């Protein structure tokens, strides 16, 4: 019995080293897997840091998305990847970036309705998705492969979300080395997608700011060009028989208001003010052509009403998109103070009586704006100015200026402005504009403001 027991102990001692070798091999293999997993985590972390760097240094949207998705595709060990952005107007996903053998074909040909395909489902639900075998998933849109010749086997897709709003979907397709997408892949890809969404948002903001800057520069140039169509210096009477002043403040850099002075000879001075329908570039272009035409017709037509008729027919023939202009044309006899006024649907002029110290509107016959109806009838009326009297012309932007309560300045409010004691035309114009801007302080200027003043000394 003792001999048997001793043998058993010896056998046991012989087996023990064998078990130790097996355990050690298993432990080494486990450590190798853990080291590999750790290395993968380090690579993923490095990639995320690189993506952060890309986002902060690349502002071109297409280039930025491509760099980020190249990094995501590499980290996910995938055959292809894509980014589809939501076109809100059309309510569909449009491929912006597609990497892989048929990337360009995918980008040109693939569009998905919301809810269509794997990406459409993710966009509709806002949930990420792993599809190990697309052939067994009814949500897969096989038409994409038919159009491109690509063979999709497996997809990992996640929504791109900015401020709780889905702006698109990112996908990585077909994992390499016969592996499968897993939960760890999904977690890291979701992190990438947060970065992609942020990158897209930043790039869009940058693109918007660049475009806005470009448009602002164009508007500044357009403003300078438009202002050049209006007098850069005002006419002056050598004998001091009259004085004039004017100012124009567009609502949005460029607009449809204009004014002009035409010196015929030592005896006649023409004054015109107009307001083209609409605002912005179209109105400014219409105005620029109109000013040129008006100067031409004042040379061929001597009577103000005939000038208005010629202008009206010219505008009616070429008027686009229903554009028209309200216009007042005044012709002053410098020696006598006789003022002839022809109206084309514009606001009535204001007559400031210097001696009596009061202001009134000059009632005109109702005439339609120019450019609406060919061969429309226009007439004129005449008033006799006394020395020191002034005539003020304004556009809608003055009387329709609104305060914070939504009240308009109105013609009555304009007449109440304390300008009757001054025959300084510049001061009159400045006073009216200052009063208008003060009345509407704290609100957005909704229309162009133009004021013209003529004083017969």
Residue-wise pLDDT for 105-135, tens only, equals 777 778 899 999 999 999 999 999 999 999 9
Stronger pLDDT, 232 or 242, i.e. the higher one: 242
Confidence of residue 385 (pLDDT cuts 50, 70, 90): very high
pLDDT class for 311, splitting at 50, 70, 90?
very high
Q: Given a cut of 90, is residue 153 above it in pLDDT? A: yes
Residue (of 152, 146, 196, 158) closest to 173 by Cα position: 152
Q: What is the pLDDT of residue 10?
A: 46
CB 194 within 8 A of CB 173: no
Who has greater pLDDT, 148 or 349? 349
Q: In percent, how much of the chain has pLDDT > 70?
A: 85
Q: Is 98 helix (H, G, I), strand (E, B) or coil?
A: strand
Q: What is the mean pLDDT of the chain?
A: 84
- What is the pLDDT confidence band of residue 38, given thresholds at 50, 70 and 90? low
Closest CA to 289 of 353, 229, 369: 229
CB within 8 A of 209, min separation 6: which ones?
none
What is the C-alpha separation between 266 and 165, in angstroms, rounded? 70
Q: Which residues contact 182 (CB under 8 A, 6 or more apart)?
A: 130
Q: Find the mean pLDDT for residues 81-97.
A: 90
Burial (0-12, 13-18, 19+ Cβ within 10 Å), 415 = middle
Average the pLDDT over 78-82 and give the result: 90
The model's pLDDT over 206-229, given as tens digits with 9 standing for 90+, comes to: 778 888 888 777 777 777 777 777
pLDDT at residue 43 in the model = 55
Q: Is the pTM of this model over 0.85?
A: no
User: Domain locations in the chain?
Assistant: 43-206, 223-456
Mean pLDDT of the region 230-249: 91
Query: What is the per-residue pLDDT for 189?
Result: 86
Taking 60 as the threshold, does the pLDDT of residue 4 lie above it? no
- In whole angstroms, what is the distance from residue 42 CA to residue 46 CA? 6
Q: At what angle do helices 280-300 and 304-318 cross, to 10 degrees?
A: 140
**pLDDT tier, 351 (very low <50, low <70, confident <90, very high otherwise):** very high
Q: Do residues 234 and 227 make contact, with C-beta atoms less than 8 angstroms apart?
A: no
pLDDT of residue 136: 93
Specify whether domain 43-206 bears CATH 3.30.200.20: no
Contact at 8 Å (CB) between 286 and 344? no
Report CA-CA distances (Å) from 403 to 196, 252, 439.
46, 19, 6
Please say if the pLDDT value at position 36 is more than 60.
no
Which range among 62-66, 183-187, 205-209, 273-277 has the greatest average pLDDT? 273-277
For residues 396-421, average pLDDT: 87
The model's confidence at residue 97, banded by pLDDT at 50, 70 and 90, is confident
Give tens-digit pLDDT for 154-196: 999 999 999 889 999 999 999 988 788 988 888 888 888 887 8
What confidence category does residue 360 fall into, taking pLDDT thresholds of 50, 70 and 90?
very high
CATH class of 223-456: alpha beta
Residue 7 has pLDDT above 80, yes or no: no
- 283 in Cβ contact with 447 (< 8 Å): no
Phi/psi of residue 76, each to 5°? Answer: -85, 0
Residue position matching structure tokens 């202002």: 227
Across 24-49, average pLDDT: 61
The pLDDT, as a whole number, for residue 12 is 45
Tokens 């869009």 map to which residue?
A: 204
Out of 30-44, 225-239, 252-266, least confident range: 30-44
């Amino acid at each position: 019995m003792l001999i048997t027991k001793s043998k058993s102990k010896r056998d046991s001692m012989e087996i023990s080293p064998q078990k130790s070798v097996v355990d050690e091999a298993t432990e080494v293999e486990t450590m190798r897997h853990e080291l590999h997993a750790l290395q993968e985590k380090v690579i993923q972390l490095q990639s995320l840091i690189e993506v952060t760097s890309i986002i902060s240094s690349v502002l071109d949207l297409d280039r930025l998305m491509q760099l980020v998705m190249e990094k995501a595709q590499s980290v996910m060990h995938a055959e292809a990847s894509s980014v589809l952005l939501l076109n809100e107007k059309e309510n569909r996903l449009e491929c912006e970036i597609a990497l892989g053998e048929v990337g360009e074909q995918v980008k040109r040909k693939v569009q998905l309705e919301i809810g269509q395909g794997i990406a459409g489902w993710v966009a509709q639900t806002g949930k990420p998705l792993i599809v190990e075998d697309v052939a067994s998933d009814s949500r897969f849109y096989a038409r994409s492969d038919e159009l491109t010749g690509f063979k999709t086997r497996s997809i990992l897709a996640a929504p791109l979300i900015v401020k709780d709003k889905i702006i698109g979907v990112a996908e990585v397709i077909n994992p390499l080395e016969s592996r499968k997408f897993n939960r760890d892949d999904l977690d890291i890809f979701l992190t990438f997608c947060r970065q992609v969404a942020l990158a897209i948002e930043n790039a869009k903001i940058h693109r918007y700011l660049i475009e806005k800057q470009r448009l602002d520069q164009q508007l500044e140039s357009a403003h300078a060009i438009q202002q050049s169509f209006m007098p850069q210096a005002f006419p002056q009477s050598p004998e001091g028989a009259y004085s004039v002043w004017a100012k124009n403040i567009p609502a949005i850099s460029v607009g449809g208001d204009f004014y002009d002075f035409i010196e015929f000879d030592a005896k006649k001075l023409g004054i015109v003010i107009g307001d083209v329908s609409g605002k912005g570039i179209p109105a400014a272009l219409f105005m620029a052509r109109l000013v040129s035409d008006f100067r031409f017709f004042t040379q061929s037509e001597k009577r103000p009403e005939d000038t208005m008729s010629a202008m009206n027919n010219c505008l009616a023939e070429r008027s686009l998109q229903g554009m028209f202009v309200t216009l007042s044309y005044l012709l002053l006899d410098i020696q006598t103070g006789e003022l002839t006024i022809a109206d084309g649907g514009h606001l009535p002029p204001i007559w400031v009586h210097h001696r009596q110290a009061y202001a009134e509107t000059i009632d005109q016959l109702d005439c339609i704006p120019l450019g609406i109806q060919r061969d429309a009838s226009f007439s004129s009326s005449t008033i006799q100015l006394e020395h020191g009297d002034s005539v003020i012309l304004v556009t809608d932007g003055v009387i329709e200026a609104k305060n914070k309560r939504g009240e308009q300045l109105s013609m009555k409010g304009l007449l109440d402005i304390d300008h009757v004691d001054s025959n300084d035309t510049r001061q009159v114009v400045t006073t009216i504009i200052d009063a208008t801007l003060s009345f509407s302080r704290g609100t957005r200027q909704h229309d162009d403001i133009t004021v013209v003043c003529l004083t017969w000394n």
